[in-house]
Amino acid sequence: MEELIRIEGLHMIFGEKEVLKDINLRILRGEIFALVGPSGSGKTTFLRLLNFFERPEKGNLRFNGMETSGIINIRRRMSLLFQTPAIFNRSVFDNVAYGLKVRNIDKKTFEKKVIEALGIVGLSGLENQKARTLSGGEAQRMAFARAIVYDPEVLLLDEPTANLDPANVMKIEEIIKRIRNERETTILLATHNIPQVRRIADRVGILINGELIEVNTKDAIFKYPEDKRSEAFLKGEMIY
Amino acid sequence: MSSADFLLQGFIKAFELIFTLDPYILSITGVSIKVSGTATILAALTAIPLSFALAFFNFRGKQTLITLINTGMGLPPVFVGLFIFVMLVPAGPLGFADMIFTPFAMILAQYILVTPIITGISLSAIKAVPKSLIETVYTLGGNRKDAVIAALSEARFGIITAILAGLGRALSEVGAILIVGGNIAYSGSIGGIGEGISYTRTLTTAITSETSKGGNFSTPIALGIILIALNLSVNLLANYFQRRD
């Protein structure tokens, strides 16, 4: 698969704490890459760096595969979904249409796209409902629709199912797989949910205490982990 | 006449004055709405951009300005009245403008009183917009302008509440406008039923002067009923927007 993003020697410090240490990683077009690690290991910071919310202390982010340059242009080809979605105090339709409106897409096109995106996440018919009255699972699915409505090349997902019930977890996982299969969207998923990684990831990176200790295909990393810390974490043993 | 009859007569006459659209009462109400409404609109035009600047930009003296605004929210009206009076009297620095005892002076005084209130409440409403929501604007491809618009949109009910709080304060204010407006009405016999037309006399200042005359309380009662009705309407509107938030 073609390389989409290359991360070289990425280093990040918050105050005295080294949050990310010399991260080197290649993200391939169309893959579901799971960044796995315990809480506080630096997963969220890594995604925020990729979405330009943080600046690295050292290192490079290369978006060579995206054929565009400049923060705003690269950002507009991506979408970052937070663990708890922030919802505009508007209708479901207005929330989902937001990314299209800021891109000045014409109304006829964006109406079609919003309805299509809501169909993918199973929220058809809720267009006019106030978004803040949705349940937790529905709100997260609406946030998914909002994130995919403008066909981003890269979807950054930060623990997207952490607060959801099993039924909604399953729905979200189906949406992730469907988006990748139908749109060839590259998905970078930060999670500590090991069964989820088994179900949907293509490749896995293990991030512990800011250090990317191992990267491999899902099958290889679960069958033959090279690092003892990876093995322990994937078995569900706590690591600090 | 018993005290109950005295009160009852006062209320009956007051309602008569209101429902017969007494020109004196109407002109006082008109001046009140015009002065407080204009002051509130001007204050909102200053306060809303100011609260956005304070919420979104860092600049020198920002913290001092916030402290001044917080202090301004509790400014004593009589002090503001005295300050404007000293500025506008013929011997004062702005005496050449010949604005003392005019509606302009009253608007200026209320503008000074109301601007910090609208700014302070609007700033709280804007700051209450979650950071994650602003970040969502950026993740979805928005720029700084989109983020400001989104914050304005999210804080809209809070800002409307701030404006209504400012209007309520202006309508019920008496100390400052009494000093700088002079409580003037045009008439040979001011205060008689159906006599006189207000120039700088408002609901609050008229209640003060009419009550101090003694004897006929129907006029101040009528003015009081209108003042309460106006403030109640403003508060009902504010409650409506708070509920929608």
pTM, two decimal places: 0.79
Domain boundaries, chain B: 3-244
Task: Walk across the sheet containing A186-191 and list its strands.
Answer: A58-62, A3-14, A17-28, A211-217, A203-208, A32-36, A186-191, A154-158, A78-81
Chain Cα centroid distance, residue A93: 22
User: Quick check: B124 and B115 in contact, CB under 8 A?
Assistant: no
Mean pLDDT of B89-118: 96
User: Does residue B235 register a pLDDT over 60?
Assistant: yes
User: Does residue B28 register a pLDDT over 90?
Assistant: yes
Topology given in CATH for the domain delimited by B3-244: MetI-like fold (1.10.3720)
Exposure b/e, B69-99, CB count within 10 A at least 16 = b? beebbebebeebbbbbbbbbeeeeebeeeeb
Rounded to whole angstroms, how far apart are CA atoms B188 and B43?
36
DSSP bridge pairs for B197: B186
User: Does residue B194 register a pLDDT over 80?
Assistant: no
User: Does residue B242 register a pLDDT over 90?
Assistant: no
pLDDT recorded at residue B239? 86
Q: Choose the closest CB to B139 out of A51, A89, A90.
A: A51
From the list B151, B150, B202, B146, the residue with the least C-alpha distance to B177 is B202
Angle (CA) B164 B168 B173, round 5°:
145
User: Quick check: B72 and B146 in contact, CB under 8 A?
Assistant: no
For each of chain A's 240 residues, which pLDDT tens digit applies?
Answer: 788 999 999 999 998 899 999 999 999 999 999 999 998 899 999 999 999 999 899 998 888 777 667 788 888 999 999 989 999 999 999 999 999 999 999 888 889 999 999 999 999 999 999 999 999 999 999 999 999 999 999 999 999 998 889 999 999 999 999 999 999 999 999 998 999 999 999 999 999 999 999 999 999 999 999 989 888 888 887 555
User: Quick check: B205 and B191 in contact, CB under 8 A?
Assistant: no
Rounded to whole angstroms, how far apart are CA atoms A200 and A124?
25
Domain boundaries, chain A: 85-151
Sign of CA dihedral A221, A223, A228, A229: positive
Q: Which of A44, A102, A163 is most worth mutating to test chain B (most B CB atoms within 10 A of its CB)?
A: A102
Q: How much is the mean pLDDT over chain B?
A: 90
A86 reaches B (C-beta below 8 A): yes
User: Does residue B36 register a pLDDT over 90?
Assistant: yes
- CB-CB under 8 Å, A76 with B143: no
Instruction: Provide, as residue numbers in chain A, all residues whose Cβ is less than 8 Å from the Cβ of B133.
Output: 86-88
Reported ipTM: 0.90
A102 reaches B (C-beta below 8 A): yes
**DSSP symbol at B65:** H
Any alpha helices (H) in chain A, and if so which ranges? Answer: 43-50, 71-75, 92-101, 107-120, 136-148, 166-183, 194-200, 218-223, 228-234
